[in-house]
Amino acid sequence: MIHRVLITTACFAMTTMAAAQSPCPGSIIAWGIDDPTHSWDYGQVSNTPAGDDFIAISSAEFNNLALRADGSIVSWGSNVHGQVSNVPTGTGFVAIAAGYHCLAVHQDGTIHAWGQDTHGQVSNTPTGNDFVDVAAGYQFSVALRADGSLVAWGRDDYGQVSNTPAGGGIVEIAAGGFHTLARRGNGGLLAWGWNFDGQVGGTPQTLGFTGIAAGAFHSTAMDADGNLVGWGYNETGQSSPPSGSGYYTAGGGGGHGLAVNVDSHLVAWGMTHDAGGQNFGQVSDAPDGFGFFAVDAGAFHSIALRLPSGRAPVVGDMDCNGIVDVSDLLILLANWGKCDPGDPCAADLDGNGVVDVSDLLILLGNWG
């Protein structure tokens, strides 16, 4: 897997896997609803920012966030709750989560929150400087501390907050509409919240998973071979990801999913039409080509990050020079045994929360 950039999503919460991302910046590609006369079009596609210095994306129902290489945040789409106009300024942010309310983690370990605040999902944001990741569900929030423990706040009618597991060992989180997923360092999965469609109860009980993603009412996980597993609501096929191995990241939307395979191609599945039969293209218009390394999905739109010139990501290429060499080995050794708050863990190639022998073996396997 590639560099673990912290990326989460919400607002009818859709969350992309936080594992296997490229540390190298790229440009944003967006597709789907793009009709200014439609009430669901807030410019979430047409207002996509230009530039090739983005390292993370987060898509919500009708709005998006993106993180630049300098740690500044860009927001576009729906601004009904101030999701765009109230985005924090400055640099140094390391994790983002878009939704009716939005969250971001600064390199100093503090959480910034803005947007809708009906259940304290903004105003009750915890203080402290040891946070490393955030996920925003529908009117509730979840955060991951550096010690692997979780904190949740906001709406709690289905146990989204009160049933949050205690203890440590968590390395990744993802929030759905009314449920939350977490992944331990050993690849075991945890789920809590609303289980009406099996998005909690259907969670696999085996170990060895390397990534998780939460759609509005469905869930997805990826194993060490790049196989995708889906469970939960499946009316439009959103819980039926493509078969086969070799995928390295995925994201969940309202009724569709996205993934990137080892060749850095995009794959999309699930809902192609709304209830009225209109096709907005969030699945069918997925772009061709190489170089994709991150994906996320809203209700009727999708976004992706692509490396310059469409070149394929190279696992272990932490200095972005297109080859795994001595400079990458030095970066890995400098981060040996740690994955600190504010450090995006560029050398944590297997996404287990620590830089160790397994990361060294991955790097050497891609040498040159």
Give pLDDT tens digits for 320-364. Answer: 777 788 888 888 888 888 765 444 466 777 767 788 888 888 888
The reply to whether 95 and 216 lie within a common domain is yes
Give residue 358's domain range.
Answer: 326-365
pLDDT at 106 over 90: yes
Give dist(CA 4, CA 18) in Å, integer.
Answer: 6
SS (H, E, C) the chain: CCCCCEEEECCCCCEECCCCCCCCCEEEEEEECCCCCCCCCCCCCCCCCCCCCEEEEEECCCEEEEEECCCCEEEEECCCCCCCCCCCCCCCEEEEEECCEEEEEECCCCEEEEECCCCCCCCCCCCCCCEEEEEECCCEEEEEECCCCEEEEECCCCCCCCCCCCCCCEEEEEECCCEEEEEECCCCEEEEECCCCCCCCCCCCCCCEEEEEECCCEEEEEECCCCEEEEECCCCCCCCCCCCCCEEEEEECCCEEEEEECCCCEEEEECCCCCCCCCCCCCCCCCCCCCEEEEEECCCEEEEEECHHHCCCCCCCCCCCCCCCHHHHHHHHHCCCCCCCCCCCCCCCCCCCCCCHHHHHHHHHCCC
pLDDT at 137 over 90: yes
Q: Within a domain: residue 351?
A: yes
Count Cα neighbours of 147 within 13 Å in the Cβ-side half-sphere.
Answer: 9
Q: Within a domain: residue 1?
A: no
Give me the residues paired with residue 151 across strands.
143
pLDDT at 142 over 90: yes
pLDDT at 183 over 80: yes
Report the percent of the chain where pLDDT is more than 70: 90
Q: What pLDDT is recorded for position 23?
A: 62
Q: Within a domain: residue 142?
A: yes
The reply to whether 153 and 209 lie within a common domain is yes
The reply to whether 227 and 349 lie within a common domain is no
Q: What pLDDT is recorded for position 22?
A: 53
The reply to whether 266 and 345 lie within a common domain is no
Q: Within a domain: residue 97?
A: yes
Of the given ranges (51-65, 197-211, 259-273), which has the lowest mean pLDDT? 259-273
The reply to whether 99 and 172 lie within a common domain is yes
Using a cut of 0.85, tell me whether the model's pTM lies above it.
Answer: yes
pLDDT at 66 over 50: yes
Count of domains forming the chain: 2
Q: Within a domain: residue 140?
A: yes
Q: Within a domain: residue 321?
A: no
The reply to whether 305 and 260 lie within a common domain is yes
pLDDT digits (tens, 9 = 90+) for 20-31: 345 689 999 999
Q: What pLDDT is recorded for position 334?
A: 83
What's 280's domain CATH number?
2.130.10.30
Rounded mean pLDDT, 304-323: 77
The reply to whether 284 and 348 lie within a common domain is no
Res. 312 pLDDT band, cuts 50 70 90: low
The reply to whether 123 and 200 lie within a common domain is yes
pLDDT digits (tens, 9 = 90+) for 207-235: 999 999 999 999 999 999 999 999 999 99
The reply to whether 291 and 330 lie within a common domain is no
Q: What pLDDT is recorded for position 298?
A: 95
Rounded mean pLDDT, 13-23: 49
Q: Within a domain: residue 76?
A: yes
Q: What pLDDT is recorded for position 342?
A: 40
Q: What pLDDT is recorded for position 339?
A: 65
Q: What pLDDT is recorded for position 343?
A: 47
Q: Within a domain: residue 79?
A: yes
The reply to whether 282 and 330 lie within a common domain is no
Q: What pLDDT is recorded for position 277?
A: 80
The reply to whether 121 and 226 lie within a common domain is yes
How far is residue 42 from each of residues 37, 76, 241, 347, measured CA to CA in Å? 10, 8, 28, 37
Mean pLDDT across the chain:
88
Rounded mean pLDDT, 86-110: 97
Of the given ranges (26-35, 160-169, 248-257, 272-281), which has the lowest mean pLDDT? 272-281
Of the given ranges (29-43, 235-249, 252-266, 310-324), which has the lowest mean pLDDT? 310-324
The reply to whether 289 and 354 lie within a common domain is no
Rounded mean pLDDT, 286-310: 91
pLDDT at 198 over 90: yes
Q: Which of 22-26, 111-115, 242-246 has the highest mean predicted lDDT (pLDDT)? A: 111-115
Say if strands 63-68 and 73-77 run parallel, antiparallel, or are unpaired. antiparallel
